[in-house]
């Protein structure tokens, strides 16, 4: 390729690159702005991502209950020593001793926002808020007590009562002896008239056994026994 050909080739490559750049510029120019004009928009339309880790807090219910059992796992897992859990033993109304939280101290100035404390808490008692305006003039103001004054551990929910026993099973149990008793009482009459029917109802055997041991051994002999005895008496 001669020098004129190389000139026009480079010219069109540069023009293509320029158009691509202009296209990107125009696209961004007309897109919704993401720049935050802080602090002018502080009380208007300031957007902070909910995932932003601003500072640690302890979750409290409307009844001023928290979920912290003062186990100290968060304190053990904090790599910076930002957490100090102070607990005490109390005796409840049933005389049972329980460890309860006395003070949960969090040093915001030492926190590196790794969130290990939140992730290792077995009771989901703490969380990070996206509150980011934490600047103070003295370091001592960065040491915070996270449990609210007068707060206490959330009481456990009452255990659900066991389901009532099915009514059908209770009704079925007494029904069985009634049927067998009827069969037992009716058995001698039936066996006397039809020996084969006595074979079909073996439930009658125990009842009749108490009356005469001979009938318990062989149901068929029930039919023949009276006849034989009659013939013997004759
Ligand atoms: S915040 Fe969670 S891990 Fe820390 S002491 Fe309380 S219950 Fe245990
Ligand atoms: S976020 Fe990390 S450094 Fe901060 S208190 Fe929790 S465990 Fe400690």
Q: What is the pLDDT of residues 48-67, one digit of tens each?
A: 999 999 999 999 999 999 99
Rounded mean pLDDT, 78-83: 96
Is the beta carbon of 74 within 6 A of some atom in ligand 1?
yes
Tell whether the model's pLDDT for residue 139 goes beyond 70: yes
Distance (Å) from CA 120 to ligand 1 centroid: 8
CB 147 within 8 A of CB 56: no
Distance (Å) from CA 41 to ligand 2 centroid: 30
Tell whether the model's pLDDT for residue 150 goes beyond 60: yes
Q: How sure is the predictor about 164, in pLDDT bands with cuts at 50, 70 and 90? A: low
Q: What is the pLDDT of residue 208?
A: 40
Name the residue among 123, 55, 111 with its Cα closest to residue 78: 111
The residues spanned by each domain of the chain are: 55-153, 190-226
Q: Is 208 exposed, middle or buried (0-12, 13-18, 19+ CB in 10 A)?
A: buried
CB 127 within 8 A of CB 57: yes
Tell whether the model's pLDDT for residue 119 goes beyond 50: yes
Q: What is the pLDDT of residue 153?
A: 93
Ligand number nearest CA of 87 is 1
Top-confidence residue, 163 or 103: 103
Is the beta carbon of 151 within 6 A of some atom in ligand 2?
no
Tell whether the model's pLDDT for residue 8 goes beyond 60: yes
Mean of per-residue pLDDT scores for the chain: 78
Q: What is the pLDDT of residue 162?
A: 73
Q: What is the pLDDT of residues 188-218, one digit of tens each?
A: 444 434 444 444 444 444 444 344 443 444 4
Ligand number nearest CA of 74 is 1
The three-state secondary structure class of 106 is strand
Q: What is the pLDDT of residues 17-43, one digit of tens each?
A: 999 999 999 999 999 878 888 999 888
What CATH number was assigned to the domain covering residues 55-153? 3.30.70.3270
pTM over 0.75: no
Q: How sure is the predictor about 167, in pLDDT bands with cuts at 50, 70 and 90? A: low
Query: Within the chain, what is the greatest distance between any pair of CA atoms?
Result: 149
Query: Percent of the chain scored above 70 by pLDDT?
Result: 69
Is the beta carbon of 85 within 6 A of some atom in ligand 1?
yes
Distance (Å) from CA 45 to ligand 2 centroid: 30
Range 213-219 contact pairs with CB under 8 angstroms and sequence separation of 24 or more = 219/191, 219/195
Q: How sure is the predictor about 1, in pLDDT bands with cuts at 50, 70 and 90? A: low
> Ligand 2 pocket test: which of 114, 128, 144, 145 has the largest number of ligand atoms within 8 Å of its C-beta?
114
Is the beta carbon of 205 within 6 A of some atom in ligand 1?
no
Q: Which atom of ligand 2 is nearest to the CA of 112?
A: 3
Name the residue among 218, 199, 220, 200 with its Cα closest to residue 209: 218
């Amino acid at each position: 390729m001669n020098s004129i050909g190389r000139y026009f080739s480079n010219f069109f490559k540069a023009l293509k690159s320029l158009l691509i750049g202009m296209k990107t510029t125009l696209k961004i120019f007309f897109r919704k702005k993401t720049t935050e004009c802080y602090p002018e928009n502080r009380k208007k339309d300031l957007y902070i991502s909910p995932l932003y880790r601003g500072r640690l807090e302890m979750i409290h219910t409307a009844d001023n209950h928290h979920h912290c059992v003062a186990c100290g796992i968060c304190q053990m897992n904090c790599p910076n020593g930002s957490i100090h859990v102070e607990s005490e033993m109390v005796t409840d109304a049933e005389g049972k001793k329980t460890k309860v939280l006395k003070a949960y101290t969090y040093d915001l100035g030492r926190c590196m926002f790794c969130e290990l404390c939140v992730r290792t808490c077995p009771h989901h008692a703490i969380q990070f808020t996206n509150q980011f305006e934490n600047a103070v003039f003295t370091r001592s103001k960065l040491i915070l007590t996270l449990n609210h004054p007068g707060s206490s551990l959330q009481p456990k929910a009452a255990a659900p009562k066991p389901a009532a026993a099915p009514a059908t099973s209770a009704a079925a149990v007494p029904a069985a002896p009634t049927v067998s008793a009827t069969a037992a009482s009716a058995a001698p009459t039936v066996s006397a008239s039809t020996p084969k029917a006595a074979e079909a109802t073996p439930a009658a055997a125990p009842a009749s056994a108490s009356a005469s041991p001979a009938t318990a051994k062989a149901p068929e002999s029930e039919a023949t026994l009276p006849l034989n005895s009659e013939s013997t008496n004759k």
